[in-house]
Structure 1
């Protein structure tokens, strides 16, 4: 696990962001310390993936600041931003492998794009990364020949090919069977610690996350509504945390869409469409 009080690698302060008139983030404060694995949780559409895009510099804040390694991303040059991105790894939802490339070429892609390493060294590094995720020997397979869990592990090997300082995961457990889910969870933790990296994981999988992360942020309606260590989350009496962890249908996140009373709908004026 990460040391108790390392320096922050990522810091968000008062972050606000909107797509047009649709405000997604409404003043988010968030800190990720070096060496940590943190989870960002919340309902669909609450702004979790937008946070990853802001940290990766794909989009810029409307207000507030996003700092990476002490640099405000809104104030650095394009060349500096691209250099920082080379030090990030990303595991997309469902892996997002290049379907016309072999397993080997998928993992080799970032090495070939961002380095001048010899083919021999690229080969050795690819085999090392595949070995780290348990898939050395599968390098000649095509993505269509992989199971869902295998494809996610190949994507993970690609995400860490350049030994990034920051690894981001967008729903890494989506669609996996229980065995594959457990394997990916343990790989995320072990690779983070082995590489001396820092990881940010957007996920809905509460129970797997509680086993591997150092800290959790809960997002709702564009704000951080709860946060804490796994032990604090397990013991939390916060209504939102309780509803999310226990998968309850109704609570602070209501089951019913906002509407008038039943009497108004059934016995009032006819609905106009």
Structure 2
């Protein structure tokens, strides 16, 4: 793992803001991901982490600032240019999001059939190679309903790398997994990123697994980057928010108690309304 790969900045966000109407979700985000890196974006629920992935993928357009992927300004691309760039990206959705009426083989083959005109024999070999990479070549004929949660996530990962993307994005890749499956997915994310020479961005709440495989971490709170650093820097951080998040403490900058009148007043009926 490398804190700074010395390679090109594949993803570069500068002073990015995003709002739904008057409700600001992101405010002044600066974020860089270099080719070869695995980067985690962490923070509490609803802080804007998944919104960042959607901005990078072009599903949303920044209200202000600049989002660049592979040197291209996402906000300036027309529909055709955006689709062409997306073909160089892979996405692992939360819980896998497999097509339930397609076999494992056809799920992985789907992006190849959509974007590459290949002879069926070549397509078959490529799909089996991707399934081999995630340890599931023997399950190519199974349907999604026949898979465990961990197996489904691995099939989704094989589909995400089907086109050998330069950038792979993960939305909560560890959610709902048992410890063994979680460890397997974590190591696959690291190994496949290195094998492809790609960059990976993970939105995740799993601190322990993420810090064991990533090169860099960004912490988001209230729509801003409040901390960043290598895993070693994050573990040693004295920042109150980072410390609370990493050590899963119930009280801190994110309070346990919702703001309310003193309990004595409420029990006496003075502040209950």
The verdict on a shared fold, with TM-score over 0.5 as the criterion, is: yes
The Cα of 1:234 is off from its aligned counterpart by 1.2
- Hey, what does 1:119 align to over in structure 2? 120
Equivalent residue of 2:137, what SS?
A: coil
Deviations along 1:124-147, one digit per CA (max 9) or x if unpaired, are 000000000000110000000000
Q: CA RMSD in A?
A: 1.2
Which residue in the other structure is 1:136 paired with? 137
* Residue 195 (structure 2) pairs with residue 194 (structure 1): yes
* Partner residue in 2 for 1:221: 222
Report how far residue 236 of structure 1 moved. Answer: 1.1
Which SS does the other structure have where 1:163 is aligned? coil
Please tell me whether the aligned partners of residues 19 and 25 of structure 2 are also in contact (alpha carbons under 8 angstroms). yes
Aligned structure 1 segments of 4 or more residues deviating by more than 6 angstroms: none
Q: Any stretches of 5+ residues in structure 1 without a counterpart?
A: none
Cα distance in 1 between the residues matched to 2:50 and 2:182: 20
Alignment match, 2:75: 74
CA contact (8 A) 2:5 2:37 kept: no
Q: Map 1:52-131 to 2 at 5 A.
A: 52-131=53-132
Question: Which residue in the other structure is 1:207 paired with?
Answer: 208
* TM-score after normalising by structure 2: 0.97
Q: CA contact under 8 A between 2:42 and 2:204: conserved in structure 1?
A: yes
User: For structure 1, which segment, 79-88 or 16-25, has the greater mean C-alpha deviation from structure 2 after superposition?
Assistant: 16-25
Match of 2:232 in 1: 231
Match of residue 32 from structure 2? 31
Post-superposition CA distance 1:167-223 (Å, at most 9, x none): 000000000000000000000000000011100000000010111000000000100
Find the aligned partners of 1:15 and 1:259 in 2 and give their Cα distance.
34
When structure 1 is superposed on structure 2, of 261-270 and 26-35 the one drifting more is: 261-270
Q: Aligned partners of 1:105, 1:31: CA distance in 2, in Å?
A: 35
Q: Could you give the per-residue CA deviations for residues 96-141 of structure 1, whole angstroms, max 9, x where no partner exists?
A: 0000000000000000001111111110000000000000110000
1:75 deviation in Å? Answer: 1.1
SS of the residue aligned with 1:38? strand
Verify the 8 A CA contact 2:5 2:35 in the aligned structure 1.
no
C-alpha displacement of 1:235: 1.1
1:252 is paired with a residue whose SS is: coil
Distance (Å, rounded) in 2 between the aligned partners of 1:9 and 1:186: 22
2:243 aligned residue: 242
* Partner Cα separation in structure 1 for residue 211 and residue 71 of structure 2: 28
Unaligned runs of 5+ in 2: none
Question: Shift of the alpha carbon at 1:58?
Answer: 0.2
Q: How many residues align?
A: 272
Q: Distance in 1 between matches of 2:135 and 2:37?
A: 23
Q: CA shift at 1:270, angstroms?
A: 6.0
How many angstroms does 1:15 deviate by?
0.9
